[in-house]
Structure 1
């Protein structure tokens, strides 16, 4: 049965990888900031998508989210799977000196995510079906000095998504909370990989497998991170300092 897959952040490495893995036989809406999506559209078509619909969107324009989702569903049909794969790492040093830089990170990585999740969840709840994917991070599980602005945004998102998942219980709507560790890619270029790092492809494989399984709500990538963080007081200090952003 054909499904409608909407990837918000379709130009991101993880978003793109997830879109191509879910493309076969489905309609894929790729949403990203202004700019060409030709490469991503072609990859989804090559992966077997029935239709690929590129749409520009500004995640930070929360007032537009209702109309944005309505437009996606008008062009593609009711969304079956929505993946929120957008976000910014920001610059910690700038955010410590300039409150506006801190607010930009918090707004994109928490406020905008919560806004869009709320809009999507309500539409899916009314239909009694759907799957949402929110990207938290181990950076939000234990906020560190090295990136506490980004980490606090992810901590807020993790709490919001956990509560929303509970609120959606028995509604027919499922929210998967993905908690990857350090992801080696464009966003972290130039940084030293942390223990238990992963690639965008590995994250996408884990997320898609979770979507198709219909089981858990919380997804740690890789799974070993859950055990490490559950016993974090016993993690050697040298290792803890290099834990994922």
Structure 2
């Protein structure tokens, strides 16, 4: 169960090698989180991530998980909840893709969509059902400001995040009053291995800043969190820019 301050004592990270996911786990372990499950493809990186959290004093387990293997989600993820309550699920997996390449290779674009949207819908519903059955918990979904309005530079990735964001918002409405809290996190450009080598966007942030925003959002039981907060105003303005003008912007 969460403590009196709303901090989770147990955490499941879907995307166990995600830099944002691990930064969030480290921050929560430094507070009151004692048990962590890292779900991801078995790899040296997943093993190292688990050990790094054990070094901070947490009890850590790794769980085989593949976003694209949706047929296995109910069995593998559902089983975790039969072993005890989980206070928080962080849906942190996703791929950026390569817009130029993916436009020419539709199967590559489909993989981006399947990972970021289809895989997330599957895993999100399995975890939401389990959280509802136990009567409490938070599902935190890492979305992106890229989903607010499709841009020429990354509309494949952006469209997958738009779908994820709409799904998560609707799921939060569906679970209202059940004891389950759904929080959508919309970071801007985050400095990670995934974005290394890309031109940095204004208001760029870090995994640690996103982790802090997640922690504060949990305390407030926020439903939507922007990182940094100024992006709420920026994206609101961009949504209302007339399309002919929007096409001329260097985005």
TM-score in terms of structure 1 length: 0.91
Which structure 2 segments of 5+ residues have no match? none
Among 76, 79, 82, the alignment partner of 1:71 is 79
Q: CA deviation at 1:164?
A: 0.6
Among 193, 201, 214, the alignment partner of 1:194 is 201
In the alignment, does 2:162 pair up with 1:162? no
Q: CA deviation at 1:39?
A: 2.4
Q: CA deviation at 1:25?
A: 4.7
What whole-Å deviation, never above 9, does each CA across 1:124-179 have from its counterpart, x for those lacking one? 11222110011111100011011110000000011111111111111110011000
Residues 142 and 186 in structure 2, CA contact (< 8 A), matched pair in contact too: yes
What whole-Å deviation, never above 9, does each CA across 1:50-94 have from its counterpart, x for those lacking one? x1101221111111111111332345x221100011110011112
Q: Which residue of 1 aligns with 2:23?
A: 17
Q: Which residue of 1 aligns with 2:184?
A: 177
In the alignment, does 2:223 pair up with 1:217? yes
Among 4, 7, 10, the alignment partner of 2:13 is 7
TM-score in terms of structure 2 length: 0.89
Among 47, 55, 58, the alignment partner of 1:38 is 47
Among 146, 150, 153, the alignment partner of 1:143 is 150
Q: CA deviation at 1:43?
A: 2.1
Q: CA deviation at 1:240?
A: 5.2
Q: Which residue of 1 aligns with 2:232?
A: 226
Q: Which residue of 2 aligns with 1:58?
A: 66
Q: CA deviation at 1:41?
A: 1.8
CA distance in 1, matches of 2:214, 2:27: 10
Partner SS, residue 143 of structure 1: coil
CA distance in 2, matches of 1:99, 1:25: 42
Q: CA deviation at 1:101?
A: 0.8
Among 27, 52, 56, the alignment partner of 1:47 is 56
Residues 195 and 239 in structure 1, CA contact (< 8 A), matched pair in contact too: no
- Paired residues in the alignment total 239
Q: Which residue of 2 aligns with 1:80?
A: 87
Residues 87 and 138 in structure 2, CA contact (< 8 A), matched pair in contact too: yes
Change (3 A) 1:145 1:65: same
Q: CA deviation at 1:106?
A: 0.3
Partner SS, residue 174 of structure 1: strand
